[in-house]
Amino acid sequence: MKFKVFLVIVFIVCFRITLKAQMSIDTIKIDEVRVYGSYPDVHVVGASVLKVDTLKLLTFSNRSLADLLQSNNFNIKTYGVGGLASISTRGGSSYHTAVVWNGINIQSPMNGNVNLSMMPVTMFNSIKFQEGGSGTAYGSGAVSGVLLVNSNGILNTPNKVNVGIMYGGGNTRSVTSGVKLGNRNVAVALKLYGSKADNDYSFKNIFKYGEPKENISNAQAKQYGLLSDASVRFAENTQWNLSGWIQHNNKNLQTIMSSTNPSQANQTDDNYAASSNFKFSFGNVAFKLKNALLDGKIDYSDPTTNNFSISEFTQFINEIEAKVAALKGGEVDINLNYTRETASADDYTSGNALRNKLSAYASLSKSFFNRKVLLSTVLRSDMIDGDFKPTTYSLGTEYNVLSFLKLKASAARVFRFPTLNDLFWANTTYAAGNPDLKPELGWNTDCGAVFHYSTNLVSVEVANTIYYTNIK
């Protein structure tokens, strides 16, 4: 398919108040401190990134990530309270946008989707959206954009306790709570979320004679979730972050408008995620060891049609990354990733599916002309079950023309591997898998300009971006 060319204009105005401390005339000599960029930051050169501000995170703390993104004019496909909600950007499908939690791509290997209605905003400290293709860094599915959510990084946040309560239409109520304790060397955080909704709105049923007024039936939903983070700094150059996330969703599937019999269908979703991120450095070299386990289960039942099905997947992710400061202001990044995916479903040809993925990439970023020009390039190779896939690559650049004007551009080879459903689904009435499916391949290019002006009281930013995506 081909996506058309669009011109996107973003106009952001924000006000701020700055408190100036008394200036000191003393000069203090301190030892050199070397700062290394985090995993996502190396790959945003030339790309447009929208960061959700902390005030909005607080405002939407009792609501889902789908609700927050809709308020920022993202295209969210949603099936009501507690139902499937997925993001679609730049004309792509939901599986063309990667969702990354603490550096881990959490797209389902079965269908490539992530249900955003099961991601409470209160769970995250930071939410960003990076536009355009980023497959060289985040792998399959990062075609139209990448949604980056983070819950770790708690060593530098203040200790706090928070509680939130919300009540809304359809007898919707939710409670959030969280606590963070620790210091700059050891810290733990725990966040809890729970919600229930009757979703019994009244409506005019235009599918029935006389268009009677009815109430939605069998549309109740309830959710609960728990997310815990722990961080330990063993030394200035050594840190270990651990995260665990449990999410449960129980949703009745409402009666369709043309039906005369109430629905009894129900679906429960259970998701579990755990990650370990160990970082350390020696001299000019920084290492990162990352491990993650993701497990998801969907249980569907409909007694009226005698339809019962269970599908489940597990992902085991292992990654090692090394960064080397080189070339006077440059950085070389080398990454190796191994992912094992297993899945089972009643409609799979053999009942079970297994896939082993091995990927490696190398990147180089370098600044020129007193940091006025920044250049980044990435080369990536993937292998699935011993079969090498086409090599992908990307290039990004930024040029600070003036203190208030920046030009930027990027180009990337983008791709999406077939999901396990695409490959192993049995021949049914509505779908059929094909084990010989090839990956989707294409190009994504962006170019634009950013104008930024700020004073002590006001900050204005205007961004213009032109992009083109072609994938087939």
Q: What is the pLDDT of residues 343-360, one digit of tens each?
A: 999 889 888 999 999 999
* Whether the predicted pLDDT of 50 surpasses 90: no
pLDDT of residue 43: 64
Give the pLDDT of residue 351. 84
Please state, as a whole number, how many other Cβ atoms lie within 10 Å of the Cβ of residue 404: 13
pLDDT of residue 26: 47
Q: What was the pLDDT predicted at 54? A: 87
Q: How confident is the model at residue 15 (pLDDT cuts 50, 70, 90)?
A: very low
**Stronger pLDDT, 82 or 406, i.e. the higher one:** 406
Per-residue confidence (pLDDT) for residue 350, from 0 to 100: 85
- Alpha-carbon gap, residue 150 to 62, rounded angstroms: 17
pLDDT value at position 431?
82
| pLDDT computed for residue 40 by the predictor | 38
Asked if pLDDT for residue 18 goes beyond 90, the answer is no
Place of tokens 């080879």: 413
pLDDT of residue 151 exceeding 70:
yes
Instruction: Output the pLDDT for position 5.
Output: 35
Indicate the average pLDDT of the chain: 86
Tokens in use for 339?
Answer: 């992912």
DSSP assignment letter at 111: T
For residue 135 the two structure tokens come to: 């497959």
pLDDT of 11 higher than 50: no
Q: Is residue 305 predicted with pLDDT exceeding 80?
A: yes
pLDDT in tens, 216-248: 888 899 999 999 999 999 998 999 999 999 999
pLDDT of residue 472 exceeding 90: no
Per-residue confidence (pLDDT) for residue 329, from 0 to 100:
79
How confident is the model over 170-179, as a mean pLDDT?
A: 91
SS3 58: helix
Burial code (b: 16+ CB inside 10 Å, e: under 16) for 371-402 equals eeebbbbbebebebeeeebeebbbbbbbbbee
Closest residue by Cα to residue 119 from 164, 79, 161, 60:
60
Least reliable range by pLDDT among 70-84, 94-108, 275-289: 70-84
371 pLDDT more than 90: no
Q: What is the pLDDT of residues 93-107, one digit of tens each?
A: 889 999 999 999 999
For residue 9, pLDDT beyond 80? no
Residue 41 confidence (pLDDT): 52
Q: Per-residue confidence at 432, pLDDT binned at 50, 70, 90? A: confident
Compute CA distances 274 → 4, 303, 318, 355, 448, whole Å. Answer: 39, 34, 12, 20, 38
Query: What pLDDT shows up at residue 231?
Result: 96
Helix (H/G/I), strand (E/B), else coil: 125: coil
Average pLDDT, integer, range 171-175: 91
**Distances from the Cα of 414 to the Cαs of 54, 109, 334, 387, 397, in angstroms?**
32, 18, 19, 18, 18
Residue 16 scores a pLDDT above 50: no
